[in-house]
Structure 1
Amino acid sequence: MRDRRNMSIEDILHDIFDSHGLNIWDYSLSYLQNKISKRMSALNIPDLLEYAQYIQSNPNEYKSLYNTIIGGESVFFRDPEAWNFIKDSVLPNILQTAEDNIERSIRIWSIGCSSGEEPYSLAITLAEILKDNLSKYKIKIYATDIDEPSLTVARNGTYILDQLSEVPDNIKENYFIRHGDFYTISPEIRRLIIFSKHNLISDPPITNIDLLLCRNVLIYIDPMLKPKIIQKLRYALNDKGYLWLGKGEEHIDSSLYGLKPLNTIWRVFKKIPYQDYYQISKTSNFGQFIINNINQSDKIDKSQFKKSIIILDDKYRIISYNKFAYRLFIQNNDNDDLTEIDDRWKHSPIIISNQEISFLDLDICYQIVDFKDKIKYAIDENELVLIDEAEYISNDGKKVKLKIEVVPILSDNPTNRVVAILFEDITKQYELQKRLQMTIESLEASNENLALANAVLKSTTEELEMINEYLQSKNSEELMVISEELAERVSELDILKLYCESIINGIEYGIILVDNKSSIIKINQIALNMLKIKGDIYNKSLLDLDTHIDLSPIFEHTSTVIKTGKPYNYILETSLNNGNNLIFDISIKPINEKKTEGAILIIKERHKLC
């Protein structure tokens, strides 16, 4: 234990988080300070050092502080107007998409579900919309939280009346079962939800989600982590998925994350599909960067210009270019001396052409379909033109895949119209694209399996518990009748067992029953006497019995009968230590010839020879 006398608040927080397996930077420092102050006030401790000493002498305070930190308000149908928007504008679209799916599958994820009010509210809303059609859809609501005690409450689904203050009476009547002062979620709603422990920071996300609820969770997370978390949330959504954040969250620039705002008040967003998001995000700020800095090239960091760049006037004359564009498009052959280009490029990322070169004379202009017309359109309409996956055969005969941006550049003279053409080599990405697509699908499936492994196990347990509860709710008289019938059956079986044993013991021959491994199940006294067997016998192989008689021949023949399923008769002659000879007639028959489960040995002592 560290000396707490010189510990800062950060040190205390590190101890708290480390003891619970969390990272201290998962939450903002101001939020954590506020929570610690609440604990200090509750204990009437005015000084942080004194509180640190109190924690040292009262380890249970760690848990109290931890629960204070991660705890949050959880009520049914919080912000009714927001729920109305989800009910009227989001869920109908999700249901329509599911209607077009053979499985009618709907996947929803409630993050930070606490004691379960939010996921139950959502399940009830779906039930209200679908009515009698609820069972026709394959609905899974994944409800996760970092706090196991809260999840235990959520799984039980039982609440006091005060917790249902925002729930209309008809909802309480239709979807809750009352037990005195307590209300329990009905089985119809409970079966839709899978509760599981999950850390949004460190655990992989659940994927292919139609609606993701992460309401007032990001406010607890350190601002440095929020962009990564929002990207993770977007990744969890399918291409038509919706994200619902909390009203108390800070404003986010949804365009940076491929999200389209649907309701800015209640922070509801729709995912922009990858192909559309790609079209938007690929329009980099580089064109504007050139506009702002084309006349100040000596101030530009050369690392910004890793793309090939050619700048043209409205007559398609090349004004300037960078080293990469010269090498790829302008250089006549690999033997050209680049010394001059290198020297000039040291001082400016884009150099001014010292010779008149028409872009129309370059192979690239004709290898790209309608390239000239697209450049003209960019100049005339002053609009950005994008060309994806254009193919170009370079001077050395190699096929190159290019992503091209034609960026109009404004100048002080409106008659002096200029465009910058940016070429990005995407050959490697293009070659990997198909293989990556298959890999991504495989990784997503594996990722989901990892994330849901624990949830599936918990769900199975919950289903078994529900079945048990259902069985217990059956009429007690019916259960008693079944119990009595079972008792009668057991009694009959006991009588039958005694009867069989009396028959075996009453037969004048030796009887041995063995299983399919030649281990003894039953043997009568006559067989024990004939074969001179002593000591413990049951569950022992014939070879392990305590006797002076060599039973290996019996073992071998018995094994053969068990293996083949065919009966076998033979005579065993053996000698005792006193010189007497014994002769036995032995008949071995399989038990259940179709699927041999063992054998029965019938032994008759023929006579003794001295």
Structure 2
Amino acid sequence: MSGRGRDASDQTGPETDEGFQAILGHLEQTRGLDFTAYQRSSLMRRVARRMRVVGCSGYGDYLDHLQADSDEVRALFNTILINVTNFFRDADAWAFLRSEIIPMLLAERGPDDQIRVWSAGCASGEEAYSVAIALAEALGAEQFRRRVKIYATDVDEEALAQARQAVYTAKDVQELPADYVARYFDQTGGRYVFRDDLRRSVIFGRNDLVQDAPIARIDLLVCRNTLMYFTAEAQRNILRKLHFALVPRGVLFTGKAEMLLSHSRIFEPVDLRFRIFRRRAAGLSGTPSRRRALMSGPQPAVGRLDELRALAFASNPVAQVVLTVDDVVALVNRQAQQLFGLTDRDVGRPLRDLEISHRPVELRSYLEQVRGERRAVRAKGVDWQRGPGEVLVLELHISPLITPAGELAGISVLFHDITTSHRLLAELATARRQQENAHQELRSTTEERETANEELQSTVEELETTNEELQSTVEELVSTNGELQTRNDTLRDRTSALDDVNEFLESLLTSLRAGVVVVDRRMRVVAWNAGAEDLWGLPRAEAEGEHLLDLDIGLPVADLCPVVRPALADPAYYERITLDAVDCRGRTIALAVACGAMRNRRGEPAGAILVMETRDGAGALIP
């Protein structure tokens, strides 16, 4: 291998070839694709490009890098395959396909015939979906779903996985007409998804054009800008496969860079400018002189030809009955004899005398239609009870037999036994219905889950709101608690002050030697000091709360009433009197009583205060 600094594509020699082959072998081992048929110079340029990107100077270094980094294997694989595509790439060619080729294909087929398309080298799917849009525009969505199958293949599994998703960005669809985007794509979160009902008609799968067998019975084959990467021999091999894949007169749509088809004898050009071709019939595709030489070769004897024709007709695997213009049985092949129980003796008999004229289907109306219109008709899905428990499904092809002069020579009736295919189609329809039901159930489950998620989200939001309300309530409670605490502190301070006042008053009353009695406006005792206890011998606890006039203590309460009652009504009242009384010791004493009104803050009378002292005979206070 050459030293660092030289481009790998310029390296030559056995060692270089061996290193390059080792890289291709590693790709085949890891990605399952043999690049032997690809143009070697093109492969080397693309490998060299990746080597420059990762900074490797030789194939050996790059192989080590590939073995250590799977992402680089993917990058190299994508670089070699060049998965570059977009919707309706080369717009003029696609416009010609839509305006000329597709109408021609549809005109050559019946209204119920299936249309099979193969998109070979579909990459990420834009080409296959472009064909789907073109056919849906020509047929309508309902006919498209019923009649069209598009097989899209590629060798790149990652590209196929992307194509199966049918999800594209706004940039991918920006070149499409706005009405195409609106009709054929559903927009979801900034992404564009190809319509699901049409997507089911597009089938993706892996196919290597070099190694794998082609898909058969194709009406339109799109293989654009793919052949040019292969060697000339590989291209010829692929073209033979594409020729086999197409039905007679099927259409091949290739890219502008693919020139080999212009010189191919198995395809005839429809429009060379847009690289559109039709399949030529195999066998007589050479020059006119070559065809004449083939036709002028030795011919078998006439008797031998008749024998061959008879053997070919008899061995036809499809039951066939040939009638004359007068509906007389002219020919019955072996399959028809076995199917309907006919024999050689039935040849020459009128059709109306045979059971086959009305079973499995009334043939005479179809025969009249063929005679009148001179075209083939078909009776599809005919159920025939052949025997006990045996029901066959047949498809009848009734075709006119026209002479070179244009005269009706007879009518051919083919009976295709489609029981197996009908059963398979029924099973397929059942499977599709089950799949659709499963899809609907899955969609319903998904919607229920989304609904549950929405409900859960609503519940979470409600809980968050409730939490915020609770937080606010807690804050209010904390604030209220602070206010209450402040009030409690204030009340405690006031209570303490009141206790101090009460203690002061209590000390004051206790310190007075005279008996002090305080009554409220109802003359109930509210204060009874120690002097009163000592004078009358009645404890404070028994005196307070009692009516003054109810106290039986030796005090002439009847004489006190005229003094106390005015004090309860007049806030300015004050009076002093002297009474005879008996103290707690049973002694008769002279009692000096001073009575004054007790006022509240507003100056209103709230009770009365009585101050009682004893005096001696001379009128002096007794200590």
State the TM-score, normalizing by the size of structure 1: 0.48
Which protein is bigger by CA-based radius of gyration? 2
State the TM-score, normalizing by the size of structure 2: 0.47
Q: Tell which has more relative contact order, 1 or 2 (C-alpha 8 A, sep 6+).
A: 1
